[in-house]
Amino acid sequence: MASFEALLLGWYEHSGRDLPWRRTRDPYSILVSEVMLQQTQVERVIPRYVRWLERWPTAAALADAPLGDVIREWQGLGYNRRAVRLHRAAQRVAASGWPDDLTALPGVGRYTADAVARFALEQDVLPVDTNVRRVVDRTGGAFGSVSAHALIDLGATVCLARVPRCGLCPLSAKCPARGRRYEPLRKQSRFEGSFRQKRARVLSLVAQGTRPASELDGDAVAALVRDGLVRLEDELVSLP
């Protein structure tokens, strides 16, 4: 019987997703996609990724951009600190080149570093995100770096967190977890009425133009200042 990996790769040949960042080996483009995809749905990322690279096609171009423009362009993707870190990473790359250890770049953790190493630099490393870990844990299979995109897609579209689509899975005949259902690992706190929402509202207003601090939520402004997303001078709040 074919191995898990052979079955998975066969499935991926005809069922893998055609995503714009899979058509490049440019490390900067891959880094942009990976940062955008953190906690953001693929469908939302695709048009923003394309627009971003049209505006800033290289790390040097992004590094030269005013941080305020970068934050403004990021609006709508959420978790805005990612924009600041991506900008800092681009500045580091533009100044010193790509480090051997990509986790040396601001905001780049183990998964993102491995993803850039695999998808851009073609290194023999398997990036393990939530989707990949789920498939590996449930199947108990052994997968190499060649299966990275296939594992991501299977976890994102078939081997779902709560109710896996086992009837569509190429690994189901051999999978020890076939037919199981799962409780959510954790409940995400509500955005509506949260402090995160207050921060987002304030940043959205400031992105439209400088605002008097007196018109804005003081705690949200203070948090945004600490994160480098806005600056407060002479009681006026503006983008950096």
- With a cut of 90, say whether residue 2 has pLDDT above it: no
Render pLDDT for 49-75 as a digit per residue (tens, 0 to 9). Answer: 999 999 999 999 999 999 999 999 999
**Structural domains of the chain, ranges and CATH numbers in brackets:** 1-15+124-187 (1.10.1670.10), 26-119 (1.10.340.30), 195-238 (no CATH)
The pLDDT assigned to 194 comes to: 82
At 197, the pLDDT band (50, 70, 90 cuts) reads: confident
pLDDT, residue 31, reads 98
Whether 78 has a pLDDT exceeding 90, the answer reads no
Mean pLDDT within 129-158:
95
- Main-chain phi, psi angles of 211, to 5 degrees: -130, 145
Measured torsion, CA atoms of residues 36, 42, 48, 53, in degrees rounded to the nearest 10: 70
Question: Which residues have a catalytic role annotated?
Answer: 34
Whether the per-residue pLDDT at 155 is higher than 80: the answer is yes
Query: Please, which pLDDT band fits residue 233 given cuts at 50, 70 and 90?
Result: very high
Give the C-alpha separation, 177 to 130, whole Å: 17
pTM attached to this predicted model: 0.90
* Contact predicate 145/122, CB 8 Å: no
> Which amino acid, one-letter code, is at 178?
R
The confidence score (pLDDT) of residue 195 equals 85
Q: Counting Cβ atoms within 10 Å, is residue 78 exposed (0-12), middle (13-18) or buried (19+)?
A: middle
pLDDT at 1 over 60: no
